[in-house]
Amino acid sequence: MLPVPDTVGRYEVLERLATGGMAEVFVCSERQMAGLERLVVVKRILPHLAVHEPFVEMFLAEARYVARINHPNVVQIFELGEDQGAPFLSMEYVHGVSLRDLLIAAIEAGKPFPVNVAVAMAAQAAAGAHAAHELKDAQGKPLGLVHRDISPHNLMVTAEGHVKLLDFGIAKATEVPGLADNTRTGALKGKVHYMAPEQCRQEPLDRRADVFALGIVAWEVLAQERLFKRDSELEAMQAIVGGDRRDLRRVRRDVPVAVVAAVEKALAVKRDDRLPTAEALKKALLDAAGTGVDTSAEAVAAFVKPLLGSRLDARRDGFHRAAHERRASGGGRVVDRAADGGDARVAEQRGPTASGSGHRGSQPSTAPGRPVVAPSVSEDGGYGDSTVVDQNPATLRAHGSEPPALGDSVLDGDPFGDLAQQATVRAARDGLATTREGRAPDAGDTAGTAATAVVAGAATGAAPPAGRRTAIAVLVAALTCALVTAGLLAAARQRGPPVSGAPLAVAWPPTVEPVRHREELALLARVLEQKTGRPVRLELAANYDEVAARVIDGSASFGVLPPALFVMTRRDHPTIVPLATKMVDGSSGSDGVILVRDGVDVATVADLRGRRFCYPDKKSTTGYILARKAMREAGLNPDVDVTAHFSGNHTQVLQDLTNGQCDAGATYSGGYLAADRAGIPVGRTHQLTLTGRSPQDMIVAGPTTSLADRDLLQRALLSVDPKKDVGEETIGRLERISGFVSPRLADYDAIEKATATP
């Protein structure tokens, strides 16, 4: 965890709310003329990303878009600045909570949202989205802005009853020439459970994708249940694309038929059948509610304030006091709520350094509570689906503090909790398990809360009351049982069921660092053995060609073929059978990239003339085919104008590049990430250009593989769910396999054309 700065630009830092893969977020105090001051929220790009143009551009694009929007239902941007070389933006401090946290509070209090309040909030959210959709450039031309990530996380509800849309970090202007290609990333962007069908299929998007997301939000606020929650993200996407959803009236009978019809119209699977604009959704909802129904901000406030109003006021007043005390003392204390997933940490201030941006000291590396969440990094290099790591509201409540005023992300995967889990929390609250403050520990925070309670009693030297000792004993015993059970289950999962029969041999291409690669393949092999009941050997080949050769000659029943190798092999051997396409971080595609070593004077692809260039393998799609295509388009002859060096895999390309073996090299952004995790100083390189879109690797069966074995492995591959199978979002930190999907041969047509040119 980075140390908390005293200041960011001209803003005094009061508290760090969160930090994530791309940025960190602070509550700050801004002092103005004549003693005026106000609270602001500052989002600053992480220092190590400030030198990477794609991240900086994504960050600046958010500021450029949102700063042009002047609407009461969109969080206002005040300033775009730079602090110690890292861009930041300051924005409105929202005196409120995310809709996600409001839903949790309502569920725990057993208070359904009144229909008029739910309609009012959904209508306000639609108004904010419409303001973004209508945004124009300086010449009055529509930008075609699409938020792409509307969910309860990114909708703030104030104590005064106003709903504000925030976090345009992955928004995309669809009508700016050239921007659509430049912002394409190869990973699904946004929270899967709030995607439109066309977004799941990775098709071009327009404002109707946001209308669909708004329809999901409206449904969930009315039902206080998840609409597309399934056992896996793949199943959720299948439900979205197939229109597999429950009837709102079966969940909540008091919702007027006209309101249900408006929500259903927003949720039409075919975008042409959907409400065309967010403004149309707003009007449909308000019309459906009927005249005489109070859908004002005051009606929303009347529902919010009894739930959270006093705590929100206390939190805001606390920030103001902290700002006053800091100025009065020249130092003070600052809270870092981002450390360890929301467990508040306090760092002493000794005043700013000479530069005015001194640090208050590093945060402890370990602490009670939820561990720090690692950035969710997509295979294409897009850091997660949001810019801020979510703070667990359960953790915040257990420690007596409030949810953050800004910043949620997809990293917790469940925007307002599973109702069954909430029922468990309520049951615990009514039973013996209590914390020092008399509240039940929420799911995921039991260990930290128990430790806090026990340590507190020891530190004061006072024994807790008998009832509390009993509660602590019960809690510790339950925790111990849970840990032992988890250990036994993990051991059982590690061993897996007994396997028998002939091994299923799968040849795998050497795409990343081999030692770690073999470890990850061993984990995937265990998963597949559990699903097939057969021994599974995932065998790392020496090079790409060996994979194809072994599949054709039958020494391996199956092979994993990178896209170019797949189309070339299938061209010569049409009897190979495609079984599944690999998914990486939720995406079945990726982008190629050309990187240049820092200090090398190369500004365009044409400048590669006379340079030494690293390729991973001649059959690599992103690392060879697309890179050479980009060179030819820039007027270069790859065989004459550059000197080729073949590194063997994508990780080694980055190793050779940083070691000075080459001036430039080609990989995919996931290869960049894998090299970073292998300890290669990839910060010594920078991106020159994206070279094009490519599907992920194809798993094929050889021509001699039996039909029974083909079907067996295919079923196993398509059922892989890392969260259920290994307890992680992905299998492996280098491969980052998030599952497999049925093959779509049309996705490989562009690669077919590209491989036609040598």
Say if 7-302 and 589-695 have the same CATH topology.
Answer: no
Task: Tell me what the mean pLDDT of segment 111-125 comes to.
Answer: 94
**Per-residue model confidence (pLDDT) at position 515:** 82
Task: Tell me what the mean pLDDT of segment 692-706 comes to.
Answer: 91
Are 289 and 116 within 8 A, CB to CB? Answer: yes
pLDDT of 494 > 70? The answer is no
pLDDT of 344 > 50? The answer is no
Tokens of 225: 């249940």
pLDDT of 264 > 60? The answer is yes
**Per-residue model confidence (pLDDT) at position 85:** 82
DSSP strand pairing (332-336 vs 345-349): antiparallel
**Would you place residue 742 in the very low, low, confident or very high pLDDT band (cuts 50, 70, 90)?**
very high
What's the pLDDT tens digit per position in 48-73?
A: 777 777 767 777 776 777 788 889 99
**Per-residue model confidence (pLDDT) at position 21:** 61
**Per-residue model confidence (pLDDT) at position 335:** 52
- Lowest model confidence (mean pLDDT) among 161-165, 489-493, 511-515: 489-493
What's the pLDDT tens digit per position in 617-661?
A: 998 999 999 999 999 999 999 999 999 999 998 889 999 999 999
Name 220's Cβ contacts closer than 8 Å, sequence gap at least 6.
Answer: 103, 152, 226, 227, 416
| DSSP secondary structure letters along 117-148 | HHHHHHHHHHHHHHHHHT-B-TTS-B--EE--
Residue 175 CB neighbours (<10 A): 14
**Per-residue model confidence (pLDDT) at position 451:** 26
CATH 1.10.510.10 fits 7-302, yes or no: yes
Q: Strand, helix or coil at 327?
A: helix
Task: Tell me what the mean pLDDT of segment 259-277 comes to.
Answer: 95
**Per-residue model confidence (pLDDT) at position 169:** 59
Q: If you search the block for the tokens 């249900």, which residue do you land on?
A: 260
Task: Tell me what the mean pLDDT of segment 490-509 comes to.
Answer: 74
Tokens of 727: 């307890």
Question: Higher model confidence: residue 416 or residue 657?
Answer: 657
What's the pLDDT tens digit per position in 14-37?
A: 888 877 667 788 888 887 655 577
**Per-residue model confidence (pLDDT) at position 299:** 94
| Residue tagged active-site, from 83, 101, 149, 210 | 149
**Per-residue model confidence (pLDDT) at position 399:** 35
Task: Tell me what the mean pLDDT of segment 211-223 comes to.
Answer: 96
Tokens of 700: 């094929």
pLDDT of 368 > 50? The answer is no
What's the pLDDT tens digit per position in 552-593?
A: 999 999 999 999 999 999 999 999 999 999 988 777 887 788
**Would you place residue 307 in the very low, low, confident or very high pLDDT band (cuts 50, 70, 90)?**
confident
- How far apart, in whole angstroms, are the C-alpha atoms of residue 43 and residue 64? 14
pLDDT of 288 > 90? The answer is yes
Tokens of 426: 């309520």
Report for 116-125, 333-342, 421-430, 586-595: range of highest mean pLDDT: 116-125
**Per-residue model confidence (pLDDT) at position 487:** 56
- Lowest model confidence (mean pLDDT) among 231-245, 597-611, 634-648: 231-245
Q: Give domain 504-587+697-755's CATH superfamily.
A: Periplasmic binding protein-like II (3.40.190.10)
**308-331 as b/e: b if 16+ CB within 10 A:** beebbeebbebbeebbeebeeeee
Task: Tell me what the mean pLDDT of segment 508-516 comes to.
Answer: 83
Q: Where are the domains of the chain?
A: 7-302, 421-495, 504-587+697-755, 589-695
**Per-residue model confidence (pLDDT) at position 230:** 86
3-state SS of 432-501?
CCCCCCCCCCCCCCHHHHHHHHHHHHHHHCCCCCHHHHHHHHHHHHHHHHHHHHHHHHHHHHHHCCCCCC
Question: Higher model confidence: residue 85 or residue 573?
Answer: 573
Task: Tell me what the mean pLDDT of segment 150-157 comes to.
Answer: 92
**Per-residue model confidence (pLDDT) at position 95:** 83
Q: Is 62 exposed, middle or buried (0-12, 13-18, 19+ CB in 10 A)?
A: buried
What's the pLDDT tens digit per position in 431-478?
A: 323 332 333 333 333 333 222 222 223 333 344 455 545 555 555 556
Share of the chain above pLDDT 90, in %: 36
What's the pLDDT tens digit per position in 3-20?
A: 788 888 889 888 888 776
**Would you place residue 236 in the very low, low, confident or very high pLDDT band (cuts 50, 70, 90)?**
confident
pLDDT of 482 > 80? The answer is no
What's the pLDDT tens digit per position in 163-201?
A: 999 877 555 665 544 444 333 434 455 678 999 999 888
CATH architecture of 589-695: 3-Layer(aba) Sandwich (3.40)
**Per-residue model confidence (pLDDT) at position 531:** 94
**Per-residue model confidence (pLDDT) at position 1:** 57
Which 8-state DSSP code applies to residue 521? H
Task: Tell me what the mean pLDDT of segment 596-620 comes to.
Answer: 93
Are 33 and 60 within 8 A, CB to CB? Answer: no
State yes or no: is 83 an active-site residue: no
Are 27 and 14 within 8 A, CB to CB? Answer: yes
pLDDT of 379 > 70? The answer is no
Question: From residue 393, how far is each of 26, 152, 312, 341, 424 by CA, in Å?
Answer: 17, 13, 14, 10, 16
- Lowest model confidence (mean pLDDT) among 124-138, 150-164, 256-270, 450-464: 450-464
Task: Tell me what the mean pLDDT of segment 207-222 comes to.
Answer: 96
Share of the chain above pLDDT 70, in %: 71
